[in-house]
């Protein structure tokens, strides 16, 4: 029996998740992640293919542009060598024409000057027919650089000469190594 004013206590069932019905937060600590829903997926892949196509087009344009630039460098480099070779032969023949043998000797490559001093070169050139006029032809680049020239001498002779040039490794300048014809 119970005392007056005291009511019997019946066990009550607790609401799910807590006294007010909320879901408790996950416990704190390493490795615990709150549950998230997976992000929505795009079922239309048209945007992906457009992006890949544009990216591929940009890649092809970059490759073509790079090849064009490399080819342009090669062509302009070859033209520069041709121009420089033409100028060296012109300077060499002009020095011989003016009888400036020191200048002509300076335009010879080390292999050509190794066995002959500047004085010996000048003495030899004084004994040879003197060039009166010349026409320098188109430079030919292959295994060697060859510049043809038509030279008219004071002896009345006209000769077709071939000037073989090489690059001086110490200065990078082109020099006359051999004259044939």
The pLDDT tens digits for 19-58 are 566 776 666 767 666 566 667 666 778 888 899 999 999 9
The pLDDT tens digits for 51-89 are 999 999 999 999 998 888 888 887 777 888 889 999 999
Give the fold, CATH level 3, of 74-180. Answer: Nuclear Transport Factor 2; Chain: A, (3.10.450)
Sequence spans of domains, the chain: 74-180
Q: Residue 101 has what pLDDT? A: 93
Which of 109, 106, 153, 98 is CA-nearest to residue 128?
A: 153
Which of 74, 68, 72, 69 is CA-nearest to residue 141?
A: 74
**27: exposed, middle or buried (Cβ count in 10 Å: 0-12, 13-18, 19+):** exposed
Q: Residue 44 has what pLDDT? A: 77
Estimate the share of the chain in helix, then strand, then coil, as percent rounded to the nearest 5: 40, 20, 40
The pLDDT tens digits for 139-179 are 998 888 999 999 999 888 999 999 999 988 778 889 999 99
Q: Is the Cβ–Cβ distance between 95 and 103 less than 8 Å?
A: yes
């Amino acid at each position: 029996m119970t005392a007056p004013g005291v009511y019997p206590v019946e066990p009550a069932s607790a609401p799910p998740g807590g006294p007010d019905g909320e879901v408790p937060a996950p416990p704190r600590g390493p490795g615990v992640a709150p549950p998230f829903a997976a992000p929505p997926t795009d079922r239309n892949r048209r945007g992906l293919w457009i992006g890949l196509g544009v990216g591929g087009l940009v890649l092809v344009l970059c490759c073509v542009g790079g090849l064009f630039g490399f080819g342009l460098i090669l062509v302009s480099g070859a033209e520069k060598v041709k121009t420089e070779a033409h100028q060296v032969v012109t300077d060499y023949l002009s020095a011989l024409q003016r009888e400036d043998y020191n200048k002509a000797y300076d335009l010879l490559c080390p292999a050509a000057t190794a066995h002959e001093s500047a004085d010996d070169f000048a003495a030899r050139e004084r004994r040879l027919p003197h060039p009166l006029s010349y026409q320098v032809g188109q430079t030919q680049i292959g295994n060697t650089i060859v510049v043809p020239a038509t030279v008219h001498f004071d002896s009345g002779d006209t000769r077709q000469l071939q000037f073989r040039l090489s690059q001086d490794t110490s200065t990078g300048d082109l020099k006359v190594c051999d004259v044939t014809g």
